[in-house]
Chain A
Amino acid sequence: GAVVSQHPSWVICKSGTSVKIECRSLDFQATTMFWYRQFPKQSLMLMATSNEGSKATYEQGVEKDKFLINHASLTLSTLTVTSAHPEDSSFYICSARDPGLGTDTQYFGPGTRLTVL
């Protein structure tokens, strides 16, 4: 299947700082990428849809000014957690839609573990 990478795989930061997470589609071009968040023992929760060259679409309850998404190219989307607080500590996962297979399968990155102290 198609490959999606994330960087970093884990990050620890101090409260009040900003953290940027990168999501890359390695072997296909993705006009649409998605960002999810997962808390321990819970399922993945969709945060936003990232569209190349346009503004992201955020799910209800997700603060767009806190979670900044940029999709500047067909292979890269970034999520910046601004002014991070301990409650933002979570597992962040991106996915990219591969339109080349006809049925628009989404492939997921390995995730980024964010810990805010």
Chain B
Amino acid sequence: DAKTTQPTSMDCAEGRAANLPCNHSTISGNEYVYWYRQIHSQGPQYIIHGLKNNETNEMASLIITEDRKSSTLILPHATLRDTAVYYCIVRVSYDKVIFGPGTSLSVIP
């Protein structure tokens, strides 16, 4: 799997958009970009995934650059409940999910 690089931690003001970057410069053409988050002492929660096109669901938006070497997860209106560790994972379909250290997002009142 391609390796990903994420900032160790980020802060975001409550109500503002949280933009979490991820670099995956060695991504292969058949690898998807997945985002999960883990709230303290819970199992990881699936957020969103994409291949080439930007994606949006009820939780977040995923913006993938045209060269696919990086992506950004956007939480449009962050709340205190969005405080968590966010993991960007690149994998081919049917492959296991391997977690890196992720980004610890703190939403501040």
Could you list which residues of chain A lie within 8 angstroms of chain B, going by C-beta atoms? 1, 4, 6, 34, 36, 43-46, 49, 91, 93, 95, 97, 103-111, 113
Contact = CB atoms under 8 A, between A and B. Distances in A.
A105 B43 contact: no
Contacts of A105: 34, 46, 49
A100 to B, nearest CB: 13
Contacts, number: 53
Nearest to A42: B101
Contacts of B101: 43
Given A43-B102, A103-B32, A105-B34, A110 B97 contact: no
A44 B44 contact: yes
Interface of B: 32, 34, 36, 38, 41-46, 49, 51, 85, 87, 93-94, 96-102
Q: Which of A34, A108, A109, A113 has the most CB of B within 10 A?
A: A108
Nearest to A94: B43
A108 B36 CA distance: 10
Contact of A93 (B44, B87, B96): B44
A49 B100 contact: no
Contacts of B42: 110-111
Given A43-B102, A103-B49, A105-B34, A111 B96 contact: no
Contacts of B32: 103
18 contacts: A4-B43, A43-B99, A46-B96, A46-B97, A91-B41, A93-B43, A97-B94, A103-B51, A103-B93, A104-B93, A105-B34, A106-B96, A106-B97, A107-B46, A108-B43, A109-B43, A111-B41, A111-B43
Contacts of A103: 32, 49, 51, 93
Contacts of A4: 43
A34 B94 contact: no
Nearest to A48: B96
Nearest to A36: B99
